Structures are given as structure tokens and as C-alpha cells.
Amino acid sequence: MSRQSIGILGTGSYLPKEEVGNAEVAARVGVPTEWIENKTQILGRRYAAPDEATSDLATRAAAGALEQAGTAAERIDYLIVSTSTPDSPQPPTAYHVQRALDAHAAACFDINVVCSGFVYGLALARSLVAQRPGSHALVVGADVYSRILDFSDRRTAVLLGDGAGAAVVGPVPEGRGFIDFELGSRGDAHRLIRVEAGGSRLPASAETIAEGGHYFRMEGRGVRDFVMDNFPPFLRKFSDRTGVAIDRIQHFVPHQPNGVMLSELVTRAGLAGAHTHRTLERYGNTGSASIPVTLDEANRAGRLKDGDLVLLGGFGGGMSLGVGLMHWAVTA
């Protein structure tokens, strides 16, 4: 493995144009508008246009990241798309993004780790770039959840939105870039977040559609308990292994599930001293897109300074956990 420093060269994001406020969702779900805000702190979200698929959002976000990085699409060696709402079961959504960008030198693949997927993608990208010095990777997190929402289920329909975020990964100056990653999976908790039908166990049929098997389902209380019980010790283990104390972290860019839950998690994880970046109030929970969208907003607003310690934190369906720590690199 090369000892070159590897980090993020540029970020991008794309949110669909259609803004969907709580009043509209509340009317469809059958709850008061205030209930949504009080339970989630979400004020709005974006839904993809009828002619937009996940790859369309991903391509827009990826183009923004490439532009900021000053990296041509043909210089991308690896293109990784994290999504749980692909354009279709096959081919991988990454191939549609490759074609749209003309990134024809890239090896492409999808991963599906739901809301931790962007962190997993960065960890993979770091390893791939390290084994081929001078190479570049493009990591995209994108989801279109509006297509799999059951608006009779207030536990999920009020939370989710659509979006995409991306990052270009490559060589950065010494002393900057990724420090390390920690990834974890708990398949014994897989039923907490699920889409039950449409795969090889329950293929799409008139029966599965009638039963709502293609809709996103989540056990909200179970998910909250899982995250509170597992993420803080997971982060402490990571801190002990890397030797970087949690109270040294300056920026926390987490998955954006629910505002009330996120505030509690920050306190429990010992991250109250860090600046927690949030976009959920405007965009809701955008799945794999939530971390890169939030990272891009923080980056483009100039909130991340060269050398700052930035922690990315993912948790969600699987159930999965993922954290990544870096010294932010300002490369422009």
C-alpha cells in the first residue's frame, strides 16, 4: 500500500426542485402539521420529478464534485454509487452515472448499506486509491425514497426525501486527508428497516404489491434504541484505536434521520463540543445522500478549514454503522 495521503478533493450535491412542506405531507398522512415538526424537527423535503431517477440525481451531484475538484471525468478510476433505491435491479446505477458523465475509464459498482453507505464507499475508495498511487475515485450517495413511501404510514412518510451528494477522492497534501474508518454490521437487527418485496425471496407480484411489500418500512422506536445503544460505544472504540480523543473533533457530519434523535445522539456520543452540521430541517432524511449533501453544504459555505478534524457518522438499515475521520484538506 502507498503511504500517500488520501482525502477528499471536492464535493457536490443535488436536491430536486420540488419542495414539499409539512402541510402537504400532513394532509396526505393525516396528522397535524405541528406533529411532524415536534416529532422530527423536519420542516421540508424535496421529491424527484416524475422523469428523474436516482442516477439523474447522482450524476448532477457527481458533476458538481468533479468541477470543484478540478478533475475531469475521464480521470476517474473508480466510480462507487451508494443507493438503496437503484434505477432498476440491474444494471448497477453506477453504470448509468458513468455513461452520463463520460467517465469511461472508471471501474463502476453499487453498494447498498443504506444510510451508512457513503462512509462505506469512502472507505472502499481510500483502499482502492492507496493501492494505485495517483488514481482517483468518485463516491456518490443517492436515493429517491419518494417512490417507495406508504403515505398511510406516518412513521416513515414524514421523514424521507430525495437527494444526492458526491465526493472526489484522491491524493492530498501530507498531514491532510483520511485518518481511518470503522465499519460495523448487525444483521440480527435487519428487520428494523426494510423493503420486503421485489427481490428473489419475494419477487414482485400482484399479491406483494397489494400487500404493500414494495414500500419502505421502519420500526422507529427500535431504530432509535439501536442507534443509541450501539453508536456511542462504536465511536469510543474507534477513538481508542486511532488515539484521537472524541473531544478533539471539531466537526461532526452525521446521517440526518430525525432532529430530536440526532440531538440526543450528539450528547450521548460525547460530541457536544463539535459543530454538528445539519440539513434535515430542509431536506429530511435522504438516506445515502444525507451525509454527502450535508458535507457539501458545509464545505461550500466555508465552514471547514484546512486541517480541521471532521468526523462522518453513518447508521441505518442493515443494521449498519460507519464512521470516518479526516483532517480536512483545502486543495484549491
Cβ-contact 262, 223 below 8 angstroms: no
- Rounded CA gap, 295 and 166, in Å? 9
Cβ-contact 185, 320 below 8 angstroms: yes
Cβ-contact 112, 118 below 8 angstroms: no
**For the chain, how are helix, strand and coil distributed in percent, rounded to 5?**
40, 25, 35
Q: Which of 22, 108, 115, 136 is catalytic?
A: 115
Cell of 94: 453506477
Sorted by sequence, the CB contacts under 8 Å of residue 210 that are 6+ apart come out as: none
Q: Which of 96, 136, 251, 255 is catalytic?
A: 255
Q: How many CA atoms lie within 13 A of 150 on its CB side?
A: 17
Q: Is 255 a catalytic residue?
A: yes
**In terms of C-beta density within 10 A (0-12 exposed, 13-18 middle, 19 or more buried), how is residue 172 classed?**
buried
Q: Which of 22, 258, 285, 299 is catalytic?
A: 285
* Cα–Cα nearest to 103, from 141, 145, 65, 152: 65
- Which residues are marked as active site? 115, 255, 285
